[in-house]
Amino acid sequence: MKRKIQIIAVALTALLLSSCNASKDVVYVQELGNCQYVKMAEPTMLTMRPGDRLSVMVYCDNAVIASAFNLSSATAGMGSGGGGGTKEGECYTVDTEGNIKLPTLGKVQVKGKTREEISKLIEDMLVEQKLLRNPVVTVEVKDMFITVMGEVSEPQRVPFTKDKVTLTEVISECGDLDLNGDRVIKVMRPEEDNKMVCYTVDLRSARNLYSSPVYYLRPGDVIYVQPNQYKANQTRVNANNLRTPSFWISIGTLITTVLVLVNK
């Protein structure tokens, strides 16, 4: 009898310890300690693709001359036709060949280029064609988003407003994952030829997170946080009751009591 009670006590202790280990399913970057480091993925800068929408503004000492090159001052027909990117709401849309069409300058190839590269290209074209001296060109992206779905505090479309946006930044923007969110998340990335590639990222592992090819996000990426097993079990009657330490502690206590009474 004494041996049976000891076995039951050990089992109950193991259940209690297993409940303490539950935090390992929630905490991020668990293997990192003080002053430790991991190798990160190479940063990827935002580059333009067909369908992207850009705002291009030209500045120089003479605002009147500079205004002739800006879309807000251009005529309604400028920037549309001829195969170049069209203007929509004071923005240029990159056409299927990767071009936008600017007032006076005409077609400018922007596919695969960063905002900084496009700015420098347009500045050089203005100088080379002797249209402006010492121009300053700014390029901003419009209507670019990352979609976040599932078990986060605030599912939403997060605007893509910088050249580099990280996975941790977007998760923070959504108020972090819920406690019932699985820490192994999915990132779906659209590729050319109508393909969608799915990546899994384990937020509990610093090495897996920071070296992931989707740590630096792109416009159009979709982040999905699926429910953990506990949340998924809520769709089944009493499914979670069988998994909780309190349930098994109650069962163990009942068995112990019965054994004690039987062997008196």
Q: Is 244 inside a domain boundary?
A: no
99 and 225 both lie in a single domain:
no
pLDDT number for residue 254: 63
pLDDT number for residue 123: 95
Q: Pairing between strand 222-225 and 184-191?
A: antiparallel
pLDDT number for residue 76: 37
pLDDT number for residue 161: 86
Q: Is 61 inside a domain boundary?
A: yes
177 and 212 both lie in a single domain:
yes
The residue out of 122, 142, 162 marking a domain boundary is 142
Kindly provide the b/e burial profile for residues 247-256, where b requires at least 16 CB atoms within 10 angstroms of the residue's own CB: ebeeeeeeee
Q: Which residues pair with 8 in a beta bridge?
A: none
pLDDT number for residue 138: 93
The residue out of 108, 126, 142 marking a domain boundary is 142
pLDDT number for residue 83: 43
The residue out of 87, 109, 142 marking a domain boundary is 142
174 and 196 both lie in a single domain:
yes
Helix axes 2-20, 245-262, angle to 10 degrees: 170
Q: Is 198 inside a domain boundary?
A: yes
**The two three-digit tokens of residue 182, written as one number:** 């699985």
* CATH classification at residue 214: 3.10.560.10
pLDDT number for residue 192: 80
Q: Is 264 inside a domain boundary?
A: no
159 and 210 both lie in a single domain:
yes
124 and 98 both lie in a single domain:
yes
Place of tokens 């009474």: 261
100 and 118 both lie in a single domain:
yes
Question: Which residue segment(s) compose the domain that 105 sits in?
Answer: 53-142
Q: CA distances (Å), 124 to each of 99, 130, 135, 137, 248, in order?
A: 17, 10, 9, 10, 73
* CATH classification at residue 127: 3.30.1950.10
User: Order of strands across the sheet with 195-202?
Assistant: 156-159, 145-150, 222-225, 184-191, 195-202
32 and 157 both lie in a single domain:
yes
61 and 136 both lie in a single domain:
yes
Short-list 190, 148, 150, CA closest to 172: 148
CA 32, 38, 42 angle in degrees (round to 5)? 145
The stretches of the chain forming alpha helices (DSSP H) are 2-20, 63-67, 115-128, 167-173, 206-210, 229-233, 245-262
Per-residue pLDDT of the chain in tens (264 residues, 90 and over written 9): 555 555 555 455 544 444 445 567 788 988 888 888 888 999 989 999 999 999 999 998 878 878 877 876 544 344 444 444 545 457 899 999 999 999 888 999 999 999 999 999 999 999 999 988 899 999 999 999 999 999 999 999 999 988 999 999 999 999 999 999 999 999 999 988 889 999 999 999 999 999 999 999 999 999 999 998 887 777 665 555 555 666 666 666 767 666 665 666
Q: Is 237 inside a domain boundary?
A: no
For residue 23, the one-letter residue type is S
40 and 163 both lie in a single domain:
yes
pLDDT number for residue 242: 54
**The two three-digit tokens of residue 196, written as one number:** 């969608």
111 and 69 both lie in a single domain:
yes
Q: Is 240 inside a domain boundary?
A: no
**The two three-digit tokens of residue 117, written as one number:** 């590269």
Q: Is 225 inside a domain boundary?
A: yes
**The two three-digit tokens of residue 71, written as one number:** 């879309």
Tell me the C-alpha distance between 67 and 131, whole Å: 12
pLDDT number for residue 22: 54
152 and 39 both lie in a single domain:
yes
Number of domain units in the chain: 2
158 and 225 both lie in a single domain:
yes
Q: Is 4 inside a domain boundary?
A: no
DSSP code at position 76:
T
